[in-house]
Amino acid sequence: MAQLYLNNFQTVFIASVKAAPVSGAPATELDYGVLRVSDGAAGQLISPAEGDWYILTAYQREGTLESNIEVMRVISVDNSVVGECRLTVLRAQEGTSRHSYQPGDMLEMRITAGSMREFPQNEDVRLANPRPPTGVAGGVLAGSYPNPVFAQPMATTAELGGKVDKVAGKGLSTQDYSTAERDKLAGVAVGATANASDAQLRDRTTHTGTQSIATVAGLQAALDSKVEKVAGKGLSTNDYSTAEATKLGAIAEQATKNATDAQLRDRSTHTGTQAIATIDNLQSTLDAKVDAQEGKGLSSNDFTAAEKAKLAGISGGATANSSDAQLLNRANHTGITPLAGGGTGASTAANARTNLGLGAAAIAAILGVVSQSGGVPTGAIFQTGINSNGEFIRYASGWQICTLYVGLSSRAITTVTSNVGGWAYPAAFVPGTVPFVQVRHVGGFAPSVRADAEGPTNTSIPAIYMTAYSDPQTITPTLVMLAIGRWF
């Protein structure tokens, strides 16, 4: 960030300057924070980079006397407005006060006390000379300005590099650290023992931690040949023979251990269930029996062959309890009545319409919103509407009729055609088509007056003209307009 300078810069105000702001944004207020000066300044001042500025002094002059002096800092220059140059300023700098100025009052670049304080005073080349110092010791100045000299030369960088930094309480050692000692120290591992002898280090009683079995010769094999010791038990004096092992192997799991053969054969002691197939003739004997049911026994009434034949002649699900009248009453019927029987031959409304040859119109609303899909009507049969442009009616077949009955203000109708306005249809027709249109005058007794439509489109009649066949007439026209076409 720096102050910028121009030689001999001077300009004048071209608009009045206020001494105090009148808005809530003084920094951008025209003629307070933004000042207008002669466009001659545009050729000299360029807008400072962010952080840079100019210092300008504003004043009023009467003869050789200057008054109302104000120092301003210029932080932005705008040369985009034709005929003027606009300066964005910070007012009342360096202890000066804000003043008002008139067109023609002066603004120029001067050296100010603040400018001098911003300017570093380091012009003596000897202060900026980058040469390295010379000599063997710290320099001491002697003589006087502007030609001081070193009474004792400065030490060089190379000389200082050969020295050791001094540390309080320490001095140079009388014992040299030899190369052999350095090599010996390098051969000692980090964390190596410092104070124990070899004998002490080999003594297992001083060791810590655990040792792997694998590092003790023969230990694992010796352990494998031993039996696990259990508290309260020792080795048996009765050997377990091979014959005993064979005998035990022949006994099934869960075999009986305490019952005799006679006891085991006694059915009264048996538990569980026994399959019928394991008892001779039991199944065939059961098959010759009738299942008993509680409260029932064998009937004394035999089921005769005639009764069996009669029962066979009755269809499954035949009625049991309804009279003929009930059965003939259609309100009690179920199922589907065929077309030939006066029915629809269907169980759904859609299928019934299909069987009866009815189309979608059979269930379409007579009056509603008409619609279509692919040229096939899908909505109501008729649709009507009214708005500020008139009334319309749409048909499911695609035809549309628009009408408007409108009264105009009184006017003179002459033999020269006059435009009385246009008509935007209350509903549009198919784009790209032109409907049939007709405009008639029906108001008042004016048989020699006619109305015509000009240039109709699918959305409107742009112009309607009226003409008198012979004598000019002053009438109050009433027009009836009609448009017929297709909406799809």
484 — pLDDT class (breaks 50, 70, 90)? very high
Average pLDDT over residues 30-49: 92
**Of the candidates 57, 56, 59, 77, the residue with the CA atom closest to the CA atom of residue 67:** 59
Please check whether residue 82 lies inside any domain of the structure. Answer: yes
CA dihedral 377, 378, 379, 382 (to 10 degrees): 10
Tokens of 161: 């590099």
Which pLDDT tens digit goes with each residue over 346-356? 878 778 778 88
> Are 432 and 421 a contacting pair, CB within 8 Å?
no
**Domain final position from 90, 118, 146:** 118
| Domain extent for 85 | 10-118
Q: What is the DSSP string of 404-455?
A: EEEE---EEE-SS-EE---EE-SS---TT---EEEEEE-SSS-TTEEEEEES
Residue indicated by tokens 């300078």: 5
Rounded distance between C-alpha atoms, residue 172 and residue 176, angstroms: 10
Residue 448, pLDDT score: 82
Helix %, strand %, coil % for the chain, to 5? 20, 25, 55
Please check whether residue 299 lies inside any domain of the structure. Answer: no
Please check whether residue 426 lies inside any domain of the structure. Answer: yes
Q: How many distinct structural domains can be found in the chain?
A: 2
Rounded distance between C-alpha atoms, residue 208 and residue 237, angstroms: 43
Average pLDDT over residues 4-18: 95
17 DSSP assignment:
B
Give the length of the chain: 488
Q: Which helix (H) or strand (E) holds 34?
A: strand 34-37
Please check whether residue 51 lies inside any domain of the structure. Answer: yes
Report CA-CA distances (Å) from 235 to 187, 224, 229, 239: 58, 17, 9, 10
Q: Give the dihedral sign, CA 253/256/261/266.
A: negative
Report CA-CA distances (Å) from 164 to 44, 103, 105, 450: 60, 74, 70, 123
**Domain final position from 83, 98, 118:** 118
Computed over every residue of the chain, the mean pLDDT equals: 86
**Of the candidates 423, 420, 430, the residue with the CA atom closest to the CA atom of residue 388:** 423
Pairing between strand 85-93 and 65-78?
A: antiparallel
Residue 320 pLDDT > 70: no
Q: For residue 417, what are the contacts with CB-CB under 8 A and spacing of at least 6?
A: 465, 466, 467
Rounded distance between C-alpha atoms, residue 252 and residue 250, angstroms: 6
**Domain final position from 58, 83, 118:** 118
Coil, strand, or helix at residue 41? helix
Residue 101, pLDDT score: 98
Q: For residue 466, what are the contacts with CB-CB under 8 A and spacing of at least 6?
A: 413, 417, 418, 420, 441, 449, 450, 451, 452, 477
Please check whether residue 309 lies inside any domain of the structure. Answer: no
Which pLDDT tens digit goes with each residue over 218-272? 889 988 888 888 888 877 778 888 998 888 888 888 777 677 888 888 888 888 8
Please check whether residue 284 lies inside any domain of the structure. Answer: no
Q: What is the CATH classification number for the domain harbouring 440?
A: 2.60.40.3940
Largest CA distance in the chain: 161
pTM: 0.33
